[in-house]
Structure 1
Protein backbone atom coordinates (compact mmCIF):
# COMPACT_ATOMS: atom_id res chain seq x y z
CA UNK A 1 0.00 0.00 0.00
CA UNK A 2 2.84 2.38 0.85
CA UNK A 3 4.56 1.55 -2.42
CA UNK A 4 1.37 2.32 -4.35
CA UNK A 5 1.00 5.72 -2.74
CA UNK A 6 4.63 6.58 -3.48
CA UNK A 7 4.24 5.57 -7.15
CA UNK A 8 1.07 7.62 -7.56
CA UNK A 9 2.66 10.77 -6.14
CA UNK A 10 5.41 10.68 -8.80
CA UNK A 11 2.97 10.67 -11.73
CA UNK A 12 2.92 14.20 -13.26
CA UNK A 13 -0.35 15.92 -13.95
CA UNK A 14 -0.45 17.86 -17.25
CA UNK A 15 -2.62 20.94 -17.49
CA UNK A 16 -4.05 22.09 -20.85
CA UNK A 17 -1.79 24.60 -22.62
CA UNK A 18 -3.10 28.15 -22.72
CA UNK A 19 -1.48 30.42 -25.41
CA UNK A 20 -0.17 33.70 -24.07
CA UNK A 21 -1.31 36.71 -26.10
CA UNK A 22 1.53 38.63 -27.73
CA UNK A 23 1.64 42.33 -26.91
CA UNK A 24 0.51 44.44 -29.85
CA UNK A 25 3.18 46.78 -31.23
CA UNK A 26 2.57 50.46 -30.70
CA UNK A 27 0.62 52.18 -33.44
CA UNK A 28 3.54 54.42 -34.30
CA UNK A 29 5.80 51.44 -35.04
CA UNK A 30 3.66 50.06 -37.86
CA UNK A 31 2.08 53.26 -39.16
CA UNK A 32 4.80 54.22 -41.65
CA UNK A 33 5.04 50.67 -42.98
CA UNK A 34 1.30 50.57 -43.69
CA UNK A 35 1.47 53.57 -45.98
CA UNK A 36 2.54 53.29 -49.61
CA UNK A 37 5.48 55.54 -50.55
CA UNK A 38 3.33 58.10 -52.35
CA UNK A 39 0.91 58.39 -49.43
CA UNK A 40 3.79 58.87 -47.03
CA UNK A 41 5.21 61.56 -49.31
CA UNK A 42 1.86 63.34 -49.46
CA UNK A 43 1.58 63.19 -45.67
CA UNK A 44 5.06 64.67 -45.29
CA UNK A 45 4.06 67.53 -47.57
CA UNK A 46 0.91 68.26 -45.56
CA UNK A 47 2.87 68.35 -42.33
CA UNK A 48 5.68 70.51 -43.73
CA UNK A 49 5.14 74.27 -44.03
CA UNK A 50 7.32 74.33 -47.17
CA UNK A 51 6.65 71.46 -49.58
CA UNK A 52 10.18 71.07 -50.90
CA UNK A 53 12.14 67.84 -51.27
CA UNK A 54 15.56 69.35 -50.79
CA UNK A 55 17.23 65.97 -50.34
CA UNK A 56 16.70 64.88 -53.95
CA UNK A 57 20.36 65.13 -54.88
CA UNK A 58 20.70 62.32 -57.40
CA UNK A 59 23.52 60.77 -59.35
CA UNK A 60 23.49 60.50 -63.10
CA UNK A 61 21.99 57.22 -64.30
CA UNK A 62 23.10 55.43 -67.41
CA UNK A 63 19.68 55.81 -68.99
CA UNK A 64 19.63 59.59 -68.47
CA UNK A 65 20.12 62.26 -65.90
CA UNK A 66 16.50 62.79 -65.11
CA UNK A 67 15.05 60.59 -62.39
CA UNK A 68 11.51 59.26 -62.45
CA UNK A 69 9.20 61.90 -61.08
CA UNK A 70 5.71 61.93 -59.66
CA UNK A 71 4.68 65.15 -61.39
CA UNK A 72 3.59 66.12 -64.89
CA UNK A 73 6.31 67.25 -67.25
CA UNK A 74 4.72 70.68 -67.69
CA UNK A 75 5.47 71.38 -64.02
CA UNK A 76 9.18 70.62 -64.33
CA UNK A 77 11.87 73.02 -65.55
CA UNK A 78 15.46 72.29 -66.51
CA UNK A 79 18.12 74.49 -64.88
CA UNK A 80 21.52 74.54 -66.57
CA UNK A 81 24.87 76.25 -66.04
CA UNK A 82 24.68 75.85 -62.27
CA UNK A 83 27.78 76.61 -60.22
CA UNK A 84 29.32 73.41 -58.91
CA UNK A 85 28.76 74.48 -55.30
CA UNK A 86 24.98 74.91 -55.62
CA UNK A 87 22.97 72.16 -53.93
CA UNK A 88 19.25 71.39 -53.99
CA UNK A 89 18.47 73.49 -50.91
CA UNK A 90 20.01 76.61 -52.45
CA UNK A 91 18.23 75.98 -55.74
CA UNK A 92 14.92 75.54 -53.94
CA UNK A 93 15.40 78.79 -52.06
CA UNK A 94 15.93 80.64 -55.33
CA UNK A 95 12.93 79.22 -57.18
CA UNK A 96 10.56 79.77 -54.27
CA UNK A 97 10.55 83.38 -55.44
CA UNK A 98 8.54 82.25 -58.48
CA UNK A 99 5.99 80.09 -56.63
CA UNK A 100 5.55 76.92 -54.62
CA UNK A 101 8.38 74.44 -55.19
CA UNK A 102 7.46 70.74 -55.03
CA UNK A 103 10.79 69.05 -55.74
CA UNK A 104 14.39 69.97 -56.56
CA UNK A 105 17.04 67.71 -58.06
CA UNK A 106 20.70 68.59 -58.61
CA UNK A 107 22.43 65.97 -60.76
CA UNK A 108 25.81 64.60 -59.68
CA UNK A 109 28.39 62.49 -61.47
CA UNK A 110 28.32 58.95 -60.09
CA UNK A 111 32.09 58.48 -60.32
CA UNK A 112 33.42 61.79 -59.00
CA UNK A 113 30.47 62.81 -56.82
CA UNK A 114 30.74 66.29 -58.32
CA UNK A 115 27.77 68.32 -59.53
CA UNK A 116 27.17 68.04 -63.26
CA UNK A 117 26.14 71.70 -63.31
CA UNK A 118 22.45 71.19 -63.98
CA UNK A 119 19.26 70.06 -62.29
CA UNK A 120 15.47 70.10 -62.29
CA UNK A 121 12.89 72.08 -60.36
CA UNK A 122 9.24 71.00 -60.15
CA UNK A 123 6.67 73.70 -59.42
CA UNK A 124 3.10 73.28 -58.14
CA UNK A 125 1.36 74.57 -61.28
CA UNK A 126 2.14 75.05 -64.94
CA UNK A 127 1.69 78.80 -64.48
CA UNK A 128 4.37 78.85 -61.79
CA UNK A 129 6.67 76.79 -64.00
CA UNK A 130 6.24 79.32 -66.80
CA UNK A 131 6.86 82.17 -64.38
CA UNK A 132 10.08 80.49 -63.20
CA UNK A 133 11.34 80.24 -66.78
CA UNK A 134 10.55 83.90 -67.43
CA UNK A 135 12.12 85.05 -64.18
CA UNK A 136 15.28 82.96 -64.01
CA UNK A 137 16.35 82.20 -67.58
CA UNK A 138 19.51 84.28 -67.92
CA UNK A 139 19.45 85.22 -64.23
CA UNK A 140 22.96 85.48 -62.75
CA UNK A 141 23.25 83.12 -59.78
CA UNK A 142 26.55 83.01 -57.90
CA UNK A 143 28.37 84.43 -60.90
CA UNK A 144 26.79 82.28 -63.62
CA UNK A 145 23.83 83.07 -65.92
CA UNK A 146 21.30 80.27 -65.52
CA UNK A 147 19.69 78.50 -68.45
CA UNK A 148 16.10 77.66 -67.53
CA UNK A 149 13.84 75.79 -69.95
CA UNK A 150 10.50 74.04 -69.62
CA UNK A 151 10.73 70.27 -69.49
CA UNK A 152 13.84 68.08 -69.76
CA UNK A 153 16.99 69.17 -71.63
CA UNK A 154 17.62 68.15 -75.25
CA UNK A 155 18.60 64.47 -75.55
CA UNK A 156 22.32 63.83 -75.47
CA UNK A 157 24.07 60.82 -76.95
CA UNK A 158 26.94 59.27 -75.10
CA UNK A 159 30.20 59.58 -76.98
CA UNK A 160 32.57 56.69 -77.37
CA UNK A 161 36.24 57.58 -76.86
CA UNK A 162 37.98 58.74 -80.04
CA UNK A 163 39.99 55.91 -81.53
CA UNK A 164 43.64 56.34 -82.49
CA UNK A 165 42.76 55.77 -86.16
CA UNK A 166 40.62 58.89 -86.26
CA UNK A 167 37.22 57.44 -85.50
CA UNK A 168 34.90 60.27 -84.52
CA UNK A 169 31.45 60.86 -83.15
CA UNK A 170 28.04 60.89 -84.77
CA UNK A 171 27.74 64.70 -84.57
CA UNK A 172 28.33 67.11 -87.42
CA UNK A 173 32.03 67.95 -87.34
CA UNK A 174 31.31 71.43 -88.74
CA UNK A 175 29.89 72.41 -85.33
CA UNK A 176 32.86 71.10 -83.37
CA UNK A 177 35.38 73.33 -81.61
CA UNK A 178 38.97 72.68 -80.67
CA UNK A 179 39.87 73.98 -77.19
CA UNK A 180 43.59 74.21 -76.47
CA UNK A 181 45.91 75.26 -73.65
CA UNK A 182 43.69 73.64 -71.02
CA UNK A 183 44.89 73.43 -67.45
CA UNK A 184 45.67 69.88 -66.33
CA UNK A 185 42.81 69.90 -63.81
CA UNK A 186 40.09 70.77 -66.34
CA UNK A 187 37.76 67.82 -66.93
CA UNK A 188 34.73 67.20 -69.16
CA UNK A 189 32.28 68.76 -66.70
CA UNK A 190 34.33 71.94 -66.34
CA UNK A 191 34.57 72.28 -70.10
CA UNK A 192 30.86 71.66 -70.56
CA UNK A 193 29.83 74.19 -67.94
CA UNK A 194 31.99 76.92 -69.44
CA UNK A 195 30.78 76.41 -73.01
CA UNK A 196 27.12 75.92 -72.06
CA UNK A 197 26.99 79.67 -71.46
CA UNK A 198 27.12 80.13 -75.24
CA UNK A 199 24.57 77.51 -76.28
CA UNK A 200 23.46 73.90 -75.96
CA UNK A 201 26.52 71.69 -75.65
CA UNK A 202 26.01 68.30 -77.29
CA UNK A 203 29.38 66.97 -76.17
CA UNK A 204 32.42 68.19 -74.28
CA UNK A 205 35.47 65.96 -74.07
CA UNK A 206 38.97 66.45 -72.70
CA UNK A 207 41.57 64.24 -74.40
CA UNK A 208 43.70 62.11 -72.08
CA UNK A 209 46.90 60.19 -72.66
CA UNK A 210 46.00 56.53 -72.84
CA UNK A 211 49.14 55.34 -71.00
CA UNK A 212 49.52 57.93 -68.23
CA UNK A 213 45.85 58.89 -67.92
CA UNK A 214 46.88 62.55 -67.76
CA UNK A 215 45.15 65.31 -69.69
CA UNK A 216 46.89 66.23 -72.93
CA UNK A 217 45.87 69.86 -72.47
CA UNK A 218 43.20 70.08 -75.15
CA UNK A 219 39.69 68.92 -75.91
CA UNK A 220 36.66 69.29 -78.16
CA UNK A 221 33.22 70.85 -77.73
CA UNK A 222 30.31 70.16 -80.08
CA UNK A 223 27.29 72.43 -80.50
CA UNK A 224 24.06 71.98 -82.40
CA UNK A 225 24.41 75.01 -84.68
CA UNK A 226 27.01 77.18 -86.39
CA UNK A 227 25.67 80.24 -84.58
CA UNK A 228 26.56 78.71 -81.21
CA UNK A 229 30.01 77.84 -82.53
CA UNK A 230 30.63 81.44 -83.59
CA UNK A 231 29.38 82.77 -80.25
CA UNK A 232 31.76 80.49 -78.37
CA UNK A 233 34.75 81.54 -80.46
CA UNK A 234 33.94 85.23 -80.06
CA UNK A 235 33.32 85.09 -76.31
CA UNK A 236 35.63 82.34 -75.03
CA UNK A 237 38.79 82.47 -77.12
CA UNK A 238 41.48 83.82 -74.78
CA UNK A 239 39.34 83.48 -71.64
CA UNK A 240 41.18 82.52 -68.45
CA UNK A 241 40.19 79.05 -67.24
CA UNK A 242 41.92 77.78 -64.11
CA UNK A 243 44.90 80.07 -64.68
CA UNK A 244 45.36 79.50 -68.42
CA UNK A 245 44.13 81.43 -71.44
CA UNK A 246 42.34 78.88 -73.57
CA UNK A 247 42.44 78.81 -77.38
CA UNK A 248 39.12 78.21 -79.11
CA UNK A 249 38.97 77.52 -82.85
CA UNK A 250 36.92 75.45 -85.26
CA UNK A 251 38.11 71.84 -85.16
CA UNK A 252 39.69 70.72 -88.42
CA UNK A 253 38.78 67.29 -89.66
CA UNK A 254 41.81 65.19 -90.55
CA UNK A 255 41.82 63.77 -94.07
CA UNK A 256 41.87 60.00 -94.28
CA UNK A 257 45.07 58.35 -95.35
CA UNK A 258 45.23 56.98 -98.85
CA UNK A 259 46.71 53.50 -99.17
Structure 2
Protein backbone atom coordinates (compact mmCIF):
# COMPACT_ATOMS: atom_id res chain seq x y z
CA UNK A 1 0.00 0.00 0.00
CA UNK A 2 1.05 3.59 -0.65
CA UNK A 3 0.52 5.74 2.46
CA UNK A 4 0.65 9.47 1.80
CA UNK A 5 0.05 12.65 3.76
CA UNK A 6 2.16 11.35 6.67
CA UNK A 7 3.20 13.73 9.40
CA UNK A 8 6.97 14.20 9.54
CA UNK A 9 6.86 12.67 13.03
CA UNK A 10 5.75 9.26 11.70
CA UNK A 11 8.65 6.82 11.36
CA UNK A 12 8.67 3.22 10.08
CA UNK A 13 8.00 1.73 13.54
CA UNK A 14 4.99 4.00 14.10
CA UNK A 15 3.64 3.29 10.60
CA UNK A 16 4.04 -0.47 11.14
CA UNK A 17 2.22 -0.28 14.52
CA UNK A 18 -0.75 1.50 12.90
CA UNK A 19 -1.13 -1.19 10.22
CA UNK A 20 0.05 -4.45 11.85
CA UNK A 21 -3.34 -5.41 13.29
CA UNK A 22 -4.68 -5.84 9.72
CA UNK A 23 -2.35 -8.75 8.95
CA UNK A 24 1.20 -9.96 8.35
CA UNK A 25 3.39 -7.06 7.16
CA UNK A 26 6.38 -8.11 5.06
CA UNK A 27 7.71 -4.62 4.35
CA UNK A 28 7.29 -1.13 5.75
CA UNK A 29 9.18 2.01 4.66
CA UNK A 30 8.88 5.73 5.23
CA UNK A 31 10.67 7.52 2.39
CA UNK A 32 13.15 10.09 3.70
CA UNK A 33 15.23 12.88 2.21
CA UNK A 34 18.75 11.58 1.71
CA UNK A 35 20.50 14.70 2.99
CA UNK A 36 18.28 15.83 5.87
CA UNK A 37 17.01 12.37 6.83
CA UNK A 38 13.56 13.92 7.27
CA UNK A 39 10.45 12.09 6.09
CA UNK A 40 9.14 13.06 2.67
CA UNK A 41 5.60 12.53 4.00
CA UNK A 42 4.86 9.19 2.38
CA UNK A 43 5.70 5.53 2.69
CA UNK A 44 4.75 1.99 1.79
CA UNK A 45 3.28 -0.91 3.77
CA UNK A 46 3.45 -4.33 2.12
CA UNK A 47 1.19 -7.09 3.36
CA UNK A 48 1.75 -10.81 2.85
CA UNK A 49 -1.82 -11.13 1.63
CA UNK A 50 -3.91 -8.89 -0.63
CA UNK A 51 -7.11 -9.25 1.43
CA UNK A 52 -5.36 -7.78 4.48
CA UNK A 53 -4.06 -4.91 2.34
CA UNK A 54 -7.58 -4.24 1.01
CA UNK A 55 -8.98 -4.21 4.55
CA UNK A 56 -6.22 -1.84 5.71
CA UNK A 57 -6.81 0.46 2.72
CA UNK A 58 -10.55 0.62 3.41
CA UNK A 59 -10.16 1.36 7.11
CA UNK A 60 -7.06 3.57 7.07
CA UNK A 61 -7.85 5.92 4.16
CA UNK A 62 -8.63 9.34 5.72
CA UNK A 63 -7.69 7.95 9.18
CA UNK A 64 -6.30 10.79 11.30
CA UNK A 65 -2.69 10.02 12.25
CA UNK A 66 -0.79 12.68 14.19
CA UNK A 67 -3.37 15.26 13.11
CA UNK A 68 -3.34 14.44 9.38
CA UNK A 69 -5.83 12.38 7.32
CA UNK A 70 -3.92 9.56 5.61
CA UNK A 71 -4.06 9.02 1.87
CA UNK A 72 -3.97 5.22 1.51
CA UNK A 73 -4.06 3.54 -1.88
CA UNK A 74 -2.82 0.42 -3.58
CA UNK A 75 0.75 0.90 -4.71
CA UNK A 76 0.78 0.02 -8.38
CA UNK A 77 3.48 -2.52 -9.12
CA UNK A 78 5.31 -1.40 -12.20
CA UNK A 79 4.57 -3.52 -15.26
CA UNK A 80 7.54 -5.63 -16.30
CA UNK A 81 8.22 -5.31 -20.01
CA UNK A 82 10.36 -8.02 -21.60
CA UNK A 83 13.65 -7.30 -19.88
CA UNK A 84 15.55 -9.72 -22.09
CA UNK A 85 14.50 -8.28 -25.45
CA UNK A 86 17.43 -5.86 -25.69
CA UNK A 87 19.90 -8.34 -24.18
CA UNK A 88 18.88 -10.99 -26.72
CA UNK A 89 19.07 -8.53 -29.61
CA UNK A 90 22.49 -7.11 -28.72
CA UNK A 91 24.06 -10.03 -26.83
CA UNK A 92 24.32 -8.12 -23.54
CA UNK A 93 25.79 -10.05 -20.63
CA UNK A 94 25.07 -9.09 -17.03
CA UNK A 95 28.09 -8.03 -14.95
CA UNK A 96 29.07 -9.69 -11.66
CA UNK A 97 26.80 -8.70 -8.73
CA UNK A 98 27.86 -5.54 -6.87
CA UNK A 99 26.24 -2.99 -4.57
CA UNK A 100 26.47 -0.30 -7.30
CA UNK A 101 24.08 -0.28 -10.25
CA UNK A 102 24.69 1.29 -13.65
CA UNK A 103 21.59 2.96 -15.13
CA UNK A 104 21.43 3.46 -18.89
CA UNK A 105 18.93 5.09 -21.27
CA UNK A 106 17.92 7.66 -18.63
CA UNK A 107 15.70 10.55 -19.63
CA UNK A 108 17.37 13.96 -19.51
CA UNK A 109 14.45 14.95 -17.23
CA UNK A 110 15.62 12.64 -14.41
CA UNK A 111 16.82 14.15 -11.13
CA UNK A 112 18.98 12.78 -8.31
CA UNK A 113 16.02 13.07 -5.91
CA UNK A 114 13.65 11.33 -8.33
CA UNK A 115 16.03 8.41 -8.88
CA UNK A 116 16.71 8.25 -5.12
CA UNK A 117 12.98 8.04 -4.40
CA UNK A 118 12.36 5.26 -6.93
CA UNK A 119 15.32 3.11 -5.87
CA UNK A 120 14.88 3.69 -2.09
CA UNK A 121 11.89 1.36 -2.26
CA UNK A 122 14.38 -1.51 -2.58
CA UNK A 123 16.93 -0.66 0.10
CA UNK A 124 19.31 1.86 1.62
CA UNK A 125 20.52 4.10 -1.22
CA UNK A 126 23.86 5.59 -0.17
CA UNK A 127 24.58 7.60 -3.34
CA UNK A 128 23.03 8.62 -6.66
CA UNK A 129 25.31 9.96 -9.38
CA UNK A 130 23.93 11.35 -12.65
CA UNK A 131 26.90 12.66 -14.70
CA UNK A 132 26.39 15.91 -16.58
CA UNK A 133 28.06 17.57 -19.54
CA UNK A 134 30.78 19.90 -18.24
CA UNK A 135 29.86 22.72 -20.63
CA UNK A 136 26.06 22.59 -20.79
CA UNK A 137 25.22 20.95 -17.44
CA UNK A 138 22.82 18.61 -19.27
CA UNK A 139 22.52 15.02 -18.08
CA UNK A 140 24.45 12.47 -20.12
CA UNK A 141 21.65 9.88 -20.01
CA UNK A 142 23.25 7.42 -17.60
CA UNK A 143 24.01 7.20 -13.91
CA UNK A 144 24.89 5.12 -10.88
CA UNK A 145 23.05 4.13 -7.69
CA UNK A 146 24.97 2.77 -4.68
CA UNK A 147 23.17 0.56 -2.16
CA UNK A 148 24.22 -0.55 1.31
CA UNK A 149 24.31 -4.19 0.18
CA UNK A 150 24.53 -6.23 -3.01
CA UNK A 151 21.21 -7.90 -2.08
CA UNK A 152 19.43 -4.51 -2.11
CA UNK A 153 21.02 -3.67 -5.47
CA UNK A 154 19.88 -7.03 -6.85
CA UNK A 155 16.31 -6.44 -5.65
CA UNK A 156 16.24 -3.04 -7.40
CA UNK A 157 17.79 -4.44 -10.59
CA UNK A 158 15.28 -7.27 -10.79
CA UNK A 159 12.30 -5.00 -10.10
CA UNK A 160 13.24 -1.97 -12.21
CA UNK A 161 15.31 -3.16 -15.19
CA UNK A 162 13.38 -2.23 -18.33
CA UNK A 163 10.85 -0.12 -16.41
CA UNK A 164 9.63 3.19 -17.77
CA UNK A 165 11.07 6.15 -15.86
CA UNK A 166 10.33 9.66 -17.17
CA UNK A 167 9.15 8.16 -20.46
CA UNK A 168 12.15 5.89 -21.15
CA UNK A 169 12.70 2.17 -20.52
CA UNK A 170 15.83 2.19 -18.36
CA UNK A 171 18.58 -0.40 -18.65
CA UNK A 172 20.20 -1.54 -15.40
CA UNK A 173 23.32 -3.60 -14.77
CA UNK A 174 25.75 -4.05 -11.93
CA UNK A 175 28.56 -1.50 -12.17
CA UNK A 176 32.10 -2.85 -12.35
CA UNK A 177 34.18 -1.69 -9.35
CA UNK A 178 36.26 1.38 -10.18
Query: TM-score normalised by the shorter chain: which range applies?
Result: 0.5 to 0.7
- Cα shift at 1:186: 0.4
Equivalent residue for 1:139, pick from 41, 45, 55: 45
- Cα shift at 1:203: 1.2
CA-based RMSD: 3.0
SS of match in other structure, 1:185:
coil
Q: 4+ residue stretches of structure 1 with deviation over 6 A?
A: none
CA 1:129–1:233 in structure 2 vs 1: closer, same or farther (change >3 Å)? Answer: closer
Q: How far apart, CA to CA, are the structure 1 residues paired with 2:139 and 2:125?
A: 21
1:191/1:205 contact within 8 Å kept: no
Aligned to 2:105: 181
Aligned to 2:92: none
- Cα shift at 1:212: 0.4
- Cα shift at 1:197: 1.4
CA 1:144–1:206 in structure 2 vs 1: closer, same or farther (change >3 Å)? Answer: farther
- Cα shift at 1:218: 0.8
Equivalent residue for 2:117, pick from 189, 193, 211: 193
SS of match in other structure, 1:207:
coil
| TM-score, structure 2 as length reference | 0.53
- Cα shift at 1:200: 1.4
1:16-62 Cα deviation digits (max 9, x unpaired): xxxxxxxxxxxxxxxxxxxxxxxxxxxxxxxxxxxxxxxxxxxxxxx
Show structure 1 runs of 5+ residues with no match.
1-81, 92-103, 106-119, 146-172, 255-259
SS of match in other structure, 1:217:
coil
Q: How many residue pairs were aligned?
A: 111
1:114-137 Cα deviation digits (max 9, x unpaired): xxxxxx427xxx9x6761374782
2:98/2:153 contact within 8 Å kept: no
Show structure 2 runs of 5+ residues with no match.
29-43, 47-71, 77-96
Equivalent residue for 1:224, pick from 148, 151, 158: 148
1:194-253 Cα deviation digits (max 9, x unpaired): 111111111112111121000101111011111111111111110011110001101123
2:16/2:45 contact within 8 Å kept: no
Of structures 1 and 2, the one scoring higher in RCO (CA 8 A, sep 6+) is 2
SS of match in other structure, 1:202:
strand
Asked if 1:121 corresponds to 2:45, the answer is no
Q: How far apart, CA to CA, are the structure 2 residues paired with 1:236 and 1:247?
A: 9
Where in structure 2 are the equivalents of 1:1-259 lying within 5 Å? Answer: 90-91=5-6, 104-105=7-8, 120-121=9-10, 131-132=17-18, 134=20, 137=28, 138-139=44-45, 141-142=72-73, 144=75, 174-254=98-178
1:46-104 Cα deviation digits (max 9, x unpaired): xxxxxxxxxxxxxxxxxxxxxxxxxxxxxxxxxxxx89xx5xxx22xxxxxxxxxxxx3
